[in-house]
Amino acid sequence: MATLAPPQYESLRKYSSEQSILSTGDVKYDPMRGSLPLTSNQNAPLDEIRVFTSDKKFIMVPLELGSNSTADTLLELCLSYLNIEQELGKDVFALWAVSSNLELQLKPTHKPVRLLLQWQGLLNSYTDLTISETVLEVPTLVLRRSSYLQLKLERSINNNSALYLLFSEAKYNFLNSRYTFCEMREIQKLGAYLVLSEGTSQSDFSLEWLIHKDRINEYQPIKSLGKRSGLDVSTKNKKIIVCKQLFSSIQIQQAKGQNSNTFRTLFLQSCQNLAIYGAVFFNGVVERPISFLAKLTQSSSDRHIFVALNAITLHIIDYATNEVLFKLYYDHFSWLYQPPSRSGGEEFCSLWIEFDSVLENSLVVSKQLQIFSKQSSLMDSLIQHHVTKLSHRPTQIENPNRPQPISALTISQPIITPHIGEGHFTLLSFSVDGEEIPKSKIRRGMTTFKKSVTS
């Protein structure tokens, strides 16, 4: 793997939250307000647009055709500025339109300027935000890892600029709790890699520097740490505990005597080994069984989740705790996109997931989970892409008497999922003969879920 030194280009400009306005010629930009310039006239012609990278820099990209410039053209210009080969770059990266509650990968034929100007309409289509909330969403054009990139190709990359962008994106995802871990020591080790990747010498670094400079947010996913460890890291004493744990891990890694480039490489490789690496996150809601106490208090039965999809797996993650409820490989489940339908005056769409589970008495049953989400069609498209890549086998139906609204790969073998508790979701169960095992029927109530992973 090539060295991961930060690229230096005049076209890459670093923005600061302390800046209020950035001027480029006669056009004014607000660094905290997305890719489009500040202007009272939405129909005014644009000559350039800002494309951000994950390391808090941006490229001023000329719009040769104004608002008719395509994503493919802008991507080619970005890759040219970054000295990344066109063929490689188009396999590895894509342009994304991103705001706090919605992230969309652009197709080559999309016209980014027009899409950003129509962002409120897209928010209405894919989120549950109110009109007043959509106004606060400011879309940004971001150069990111393509959701279609295969890990085998990524691991063969030796272009320095491409690797550094992937490292920066992995760092962003780590610090924003988009990765999940089994053990705390994994989190601490990655945090140590980040500290040492900055080239901080042992003489400059100390526990006091980490605590008093309040640098822990730059090296550890505080949100995820607090949930996993039970620590309220907003308090000073608990934050000191986290700092001490990180400092101990740093000393272990420091003793190996490696340079900053090596630690960047180790960080990226460690992230690539995570099962959730490269996943795209979608908002969803599932219904869980209502307890007797919940009925008395009239509590909502909705459970807010993230659906994380990468090239090989589907993860269901609890929004409140960042806990992975379960994961499935694509050859272990089938799925169905259910278009919008109206129920009780509310219009919604959903994604059905079907998988086999082996109970304690060795009985094999088929489980069906319904995920309610306005982003179901996006999930359906991405799953279809990954499944097509993994297998070109025709769909086979093993039992014609079994309910078959689901279309996907044939399930290769039952997957044992003992960690999927019935308290997590309401699941429909079927025997191998296709007979439904009586359970509570899935019902759909109102949901107030709005927040998404920020970018």
371 and 267 both lie in a single domain: no
pLDDT at 304: 92
In DSSP terms, which residues pair with 437 in a beta bridge? 429
Estimate to the nearest angstrom the gap between the alpha carbon of 315 and the chain centroid: 11
Assigned domain for 370 exists: yes
Distance of CA 49 to the CA centre of its chain: 24
- Residue 401 in tokens: 């008497």
Identify whether the C-beta of residue 401 lies closer than 8 Å to the C-beta of residue 433. yes
45 burial (CB, 10 Å; 0-12 / 13-18 / 19+) is exposed
Specify whether 50 is located in the same domain as 31: yes
Residue after which a domain boundary falls, among 272, 293, 327 = 272
Question: Does residue 57 sit in the same domain as residue 192?
Answer: no
User: 79 and 118: one domain?
Assistant: yes
- State both tokens at 254: 């420091």
pLDDT for residue 240: 80
* pLDDT value at residue 41: 53
Q: Is 236 inside a domain boundary?
A: yes
- Integer Cα distance of 139 and 122 in angstroms: 11
Residues 400 and 353 reside in one and the same domain: yes
433 inside domain: yes
In DSSP terms, which residues pair with 346 in a beta bridge? Answer: 343
Q: Lowest mean pLDDT: which of 133-137, 270-274, 288-292, 307-311?
A: 288-292
147-161, 272-286, 342-356: lowest mean pLDDT where? Answer: 342-356
Question: Does 292 reside within a domain?
Answer: yes
Rg, Å, the chain Cα set: 24
List, in order, residues 6 or more apart from 142 with CB less than 8 Å away. 51, 52, 53, 54, 95, 96, 97, 98, 455
Least confident range of 106-115, 377-386, 392-401, 443-452: 443-452
Tokens describing residue 270: 């460690």
Residues 308 and 351 placed together within one structural domain of the fold: yes
Residues 246 and 362 in one domain: no
**What local confidence, expressed as pLDDT, does residue 44 receive?**
66
Where residue 36 falls among pLDDT bands split at 50, 70, 90?
Answer: confident
How far apart are the two ends of the chain, measured CA to CA in Å? 27
Q: What does the pLDDT read at residue 209?
A: 73
Q: Phi/psi at 397 (nearest 5 deg)?
A: -110, 115
Which residue range is the domain that position 205 belongs to? 181-272
| Percent of the residues in the chain that have a pLDDT greater than 90, as a whole number | 42
Of 134-138, 187-191, 400-404, the one with minimum mean pLDDT is: 400-404
Question: Which runs of consecutive H residues, i.e. helices, occur in 93-159?
Answer: 112-117, 119-126, 131-134, 151-154
Contact (Cβ atoms closer than 8 angstroms) between residue 266 and residue 256: no
Does residue 175 lie in a domain region? no
pLDDT single digits (tens) 76-111:
999 999 999 999 999 999 999 999 999 999 999 999
Counted domains in the chain: 3
Query: Is pLDDT at 189 greater than 80 in this prediction?
Result: yes
Q: Are residues 399 and 332 in the same domain?
A: yes
Main-chain phi, psi angles of 209, to 5 degrees: -60, -40
Q: Per DSSP, what are the bridge partners of residue 22?
A: 29
pLDDT, one tens digit per residue, over 41-76 is 556 678 899 999 998 889 999 999 999 999 999 999
Percent of the chain residues past pLDDT 70, beyond the cut: 66
Give the burial string for 334-361 (b: 16+ CB within 10 Å, else e): bbbbbeeeeeeeeebbbbbbbbbbeeee
Statement to judge: residues 188 and 332 lie in one domain: no
CATH of the domain at 96: 3.10.20.90
Higher pLDDT, 21 or 162: 162
Residue 297 near residue 329 (C-beta atoms within 8 A): no
386 within 8 A of 265, measured Cβ to Cβ: no
Helices (H), 230-315: 236-254, 260-272, 292-297
pLDDT at 331 over 90: no
Q: Are 328 and 378 contained in the same domain?
A: yes
pLDDT tier for residue 226 given thresholds of 50, 70 and 90: low
Mapped onto helix, strand or coil, the DSSP state of residue 182 is coil
Residue 159 resides in a domain: no
69 occurs within a structural domain: yes
Are 134 and 216 within one domain?
Answer: no
Q: Is residue 200 situated within a structural domain?
A: yes
Provide the sign of the torsion angle of the four alpha carbons 318, 322, 324, 330, taken in this order.
Answer: positive
Q: Which of these three, 221, 245, 272, is where a domain ends? A: 272
Rounded to the nearest integer, the mean pLDDT of the chain is 76
Q: Can you read off the two tokens belonging to residue 189?
A: 């080790």
* CA-wise closest residue to 320 among 367, 350, 286: 286
Rounded Cα gap, residues 277 and 310, in angstroms? 7
Whole-model pTM?
0.79
**Among 244, 272, 300, residue at a domain's last position:** 272
Domain of residue 330, CATH code: 2.30.29.30
427 and 301 share one domain: yes
pLDDT recorded at residue 210: 75
| pLDDT value, residue 416 | 38
d(CA 143, CA 94): 6
Per the listing, tokens 């420091």 go with 254
The answer to whether the beta carbons of residues 261 and 160 sit under 8 Å apart is no
How is residue 25 annotated by DSSP? T
pLDDT at 432: 46
